[in-house]
Amino acid sequence: MKNVIKFSTIFILCILTIISCNQSSDCKSLFKSAKKETINENYSEAIDVLDDIIDIKPNFDSAYVERAFNFLRIDKPNKALEDANKAIELSYGNIRAYLIRGMIYSHIYNYDNALKDYTHIIRLGDSTYINVALRERAYLYYNSNNIDKAIADLTNIIESDSINYEAYISRGIAKLRQNVYDKHSDSIRVVIKDSTLYKGFFRYFKIVYSSDTYNEIMYDTRGAIQDFNKALKINPDYDFAYYNRAKVYNDLDLFHEAITDINRAIELNDNSEYYLSRALIYKSLNKAEESLNDFNKSIELDPENGFAYINRGYLKREQLNDNKGAEKDIRMAEKLGVNRD
């Protein structure tokens, strides 16, 4: 009798093992299928597959993480957050779960918790996700006006990945809001006594007067240009770098350089924002017809570009003597959420 019981127990264990192996094999196959749907941006289809996986294997933490990401993509942050929390509950060591949860928190404007998740990943020093976490935290710092912290995070990315041209662009954009007057105070004291040195030193810096602090602000436009230059050295066909550098040159009244860059950006990418940028440069140069043509093209490419409408309205009013057309454009811009000055 004991032998019969022993045989039955072994037989049941064997059956359970076979079922478990089959389930594991099925889960791996289904998980690959779900990942493929995600890559192809078929988020709802991916969620359906992941539902099946979780039914088969309810403790599969990575399936919850993947489903959380897909829920976030279809703008269901509450469901996404439930899945991310479940994944962390199942496996505290699942670093991607913290990353996706940080993104969910960012999406719902819970920036404090997003910062905690990104900082947790950074402190762990996980080689797979640390740079992504640094990038996401830099964006949060930038949007909350912690510019120095944003630049520090982007610098850490660049130090570990010297050919990351997107990090150079992001750091350059951040530098456009960084006040470096105190940093260059010693140099300023030297060049201010020599008109030639003065002109050369300040050529690439944007300086404004703050009515709040009664001080001059010197934005690091020179540092931004250097970062954009570096990005283009790594990737000479990166249109976004030309676009951003053109905007800086325009702010510095270096119109020839600005036009050269924005022309190159448009050659690489027929983008509404690029035509808008060139239209504004032409407007600064009082080239009304060229400016109008570019505003028209910008709106043709993106009929909901409110900034193109409002600036075309100003052009019509200020340089083309078309008050009726100006008012029509400005009203259209207001409908799109862009208010007149």
Residue 17's pLDDT is 36
Q: What pTM was estimated for this model as a whole?
A: 0.84
DSSP line for 166-226: HHHHHHHHHHTT-B-TTTTHHHHHHHTT-HHHHHHHHTT-EEEEETTTTEEEEE-HHHHHH
For residues 294 and 184, what is the distance between their CA atoms, to the nearest angstrom? 38
Residue 301's pLDDT is 98
Burial class of residue 310 in the structure, from the number of CB atoms within 10 Å of its CB (0-12 exposed, 13-18 middle, 19+ buried): buried
What is the crossing angle of helices 2-39 and 43-56, to 10°? Answer: 170
For the cut 60, the answer to whether the pLDDT of residue 7 exceeds it is no
- In degrees to the nearest 10, what's the CA dihedral of 73, 78, 80, 82? 180
Q: Is the C-alpha dihedral spanning 93, 97, 102, 108 positive or negative?
A: negative
Q: In angstroms, how far apart are the furthest CA atoms of the chain?
A: 107
What are all long-range contacts of 263-267, with beta carbons under 8 Å and residues at least 24 apart? 264/239, 265/239, 265/240
Residue predicted with more confidence, 40 or 182: 40
Strands 215-219 and 206-210: antiparallel
Share of the chain above pLDDT 70, in %: 87
- Residue 323 backbone phi and psi in degrees, to 5: -65, -35
Predicted confidence (pLDDT) per residue in 92-101, tens digit = 999 999 999 9
Look at residues 283, 259, 280, 262 and name the one whose alpha carbon lies nearest to residue 271: 262
DSSP line for 137-158: HHHHHHHTT-HHHHHHHHHHHH
Answer for the pair 294, 278: CB distance below 8 angstroms, yes or no: yes
Residue matched to tokens 């991916």 = 46
What is the crossing angle of helices 43-56 and 61-73, to 10°? Answer: 160
Burial class of residue 169 in the structure, from the number of CB atoms within 10 Å of its CB (0-12 exposed, 13-18 middle, 19+ buried): buried
229's enclosing H/E stretch is: helix 221-234
Q: Rounded mean pLDDT of 211-215?
A: 65
For residues 53 and 119, what is the distance between their CA atoms, to the nearest angstrom? 31
Predicted confidence (pLDDT) per residue in 123-146, tens digit = 999 899 999 999 999 999 999 999
Share of the chain above pLDDT 90, in %: 76
